[in-house]
Amino acid sequence: MSNRTSAYVFPFRPFRHLDRARPTARFRDGGPIIIADLAPQLERLAPKLGKDAASSSWEDGLIDLCCDPRNVFGLPEWIRDLKDHWTAMARPFVAAGKPIEFTILGFPFKAPVPLKTRRKLPDFGELVMLRRLHEFARAVERFHAPGARVHIFAEGAFARVNGMPQKDSDDYFDALVALSEAAGCGKTLVLHETSRIADETPSFLDVWKETTEEIRARAEAGDEKTVTALREARPVTFHLCATPGVSEEELRLAYLGDPAAAALRADLERRSDEGVIQYRAFLEARDKVQLLEKFAPGALGLTVSPRPGRIGVRPLPEPADVLPYHGMPVWNEDEQSLRIEYRWDLLTSNRDWTGLKLEGDSDPEPFLLLD
């Protein structure tokens, strides 16, 4: 995965072939598979982590794990420089003989953008990311026998921001839980759905609304930190707006800035400007009401947007540079590598692709593509 990071959002990677107007690729059905068939790929992409307990204290083991080059995202110094902070947070769990608790936000839904993917349910990309978090938690057992649990807060609440049906996000979350269980991650990963949490937490929606107006005012006043956060997140929100009823060709032209789709682009820009404020407001409102603390008290924070005060974790190994829910997973056997590619880039590649279907998967789109 790309080493380019942002403290505010996972960076957007531009399309490769938006300039190509006609599909030229050829797809064939590779037949059904089960998760066990993917064991070699998962072992490669989500390797066992950590060192033997005899080589270090639990404090050193924790920091070494978080800074493992196979796992860390961002500068390891951001973690090592705060060693005392992280070990102090973990100490109550260790003293009580309980699993060390971690939190991470992610897994909102499949991007409702047909140029990126037509799937609505999780696929191999999400499976790899889940297994990487699972192996991170299991590695804690090497220096702390009870191990760890990672609380995943699925960002389904953002469906309210980009105009997609909440049901699509809900179905995605339910399938994600089932995939985690089927992959053997049930004891290490605990999944929570933020849309449901938001509805069930008294006053949260009011705080979210109030914070939206606060951020709008700060942005209009030119607050540097606010403006930077919104600017870095905007390319992501712009390319996540749902556009039901819009043809792929019109959307492609709008993304390119073609005058023929000027009205659609203007609408996307307007929605993105508002959406990025609401996205930022959700994160700040979450912290104001200590939303995550209610479900994982005292937990250490993991993130795919690394910065000091958060432990950066690499969601997928290099060369992947797109989050799994924003595209389609492609496995290259010769290179033993996984990429997440946008559907339009694959369609216009003039290459052959083989699609694999996971048994029991109700989504008609492939679970994994073979290069």
> What are the tens digits of pLDDT across the range 235-257?
999 999 999 999 999 999 999 99
Question: Token digits for 365?
Answer: 């789109």
- List, for residues 60-94, the tens digit of each pLDDT value: 999 999 999 999 999 999 999 999 999 999 999 99
Q: Is the pLDDT of residue 2 over 90?
A: no
User: Higher pLDDT residue, 182 or 198?
Assistant: 182
**Mean pLDDT across the stretch 279-305?**
93
Percent of the chain with pLDDT over 70: 97
3-state secondary structure of 9: coil
Report whether 51 contacts 137 (CB < 8 A).
Answer: no
**Mean pLDDT across the stretch 110-126?**
98
Residue 335 in domain: yes
Q: H helices of the chain, where?
A: 39-45, 58-66, 76-80, 83-95, 124-139, 159-162, 166-182, 194-200, 204-220, 224-238, 248-256, 262-288, 343-347
Separation of CA 278 from chain center: 18
What is the average pLDDT score of the chain? Answer: 95
Residue 9 in domain: no
Residue 16 in domain: no
Residue 3 in domain: no
pLDDT at 54: 54
Residues 6+ apart with CB under 8 A from 127: 35, 38, 42, 179, 183
Residue 245 in domain: yes
**Mean pLDDT across the stretch 333-342?**
98
Residue 255 in domain: yes
**Mean pLDDT across the stretch 301-329?**
96
pLDDT at 184: 97
CA gap 279, 152 in Å, rounded? 18
Identity of residue 187 = K
CA gap 103, 81 in Å, rounded? 20
Residue 11 in domain: no
User: Higher pLDDT residue, 44 or 8?
Assistant: 44
Residue 74 in domain: yes
Identity of residue 208 = W
The number of domains in the chain is 1
pLDDT band at 1; cut points 50, 70, 90: very low
Q: Is the pLDDT of residue 52 over 90?
A: no
3-state secondary structure of 355: strand
Question: What residue numbers bound the domain in which 154 lies?
Answer: 26-370
